[in-house]
Amino acid sequence: MRTLLAVSTALFLAACSGATASPAPSGEGAGATPTTLAGDPAHPVVVELYQSQGCSSCPPAIKVINRLADRGDVIPLTFAVTYWDSLGWKDSFATPAYTARQWDYAHTAGRSQVATPQVIVNGRDAVLGSREGELNAAIARNVVKTGPAIAAANGKVTIGDGKAANATVWVVRYDPRTINVAIQAGENGGVTLPHRNVVKQLVNVGSWSGKAASFALPAAPAGLKTAILVQNGKGGPILSAAKI
Q: 12: pLDDT confidence band, cut at 50, 70 and 90?
A: very low
| Per-residue pLDDT reduced to its tens digit, 185-216 | 999 999 999 999 999 999 999 999 999 999 99
| Per-residue pLDDT reduced to its tens digit, 108-145 | 999 999 999 999 999 999 999 999 999 999 999 999 99
Considering only residues 135 and 220, tell me which one the structure prediction assigns the higher pLDDT: 135
Burial 51-80 (b: 16+ CB within 10 A, else e): bbbbbbbbbbbbebbbebbebebbbbbbbb
79 neighbors 51 (Cβ within 8 angstroms)? yes
Mean confidence (pLDDT) of the chain:
87
* pTM higher than the cut 0.75: yes
Q: Is pLDDT at 22 greater than 90 in this prediction? A: no
Q: Is pLDDT at 236 greater than 90 in this prediction? A: yes
Question: According to the model, what pLDDT value does residue 164 have?
Answer: 84
Which of these, 150, 73, 111, 53, lies nearest to 235 by C-alpha position?
111
104 neighbors 48 (Cβ within 8 angstroms)? no
Question: According to the model, what pLDDT value does residue 165 have?
Answer: 86
| Per-residue pLDDT reduced to its tens digit, 25-61 | 333 444 444 445 566 788 999 999 999 999 999 999 9
Q: Are strands 45-51 and 74-80 parallel, antiparallel or unpaired?
A: parallel
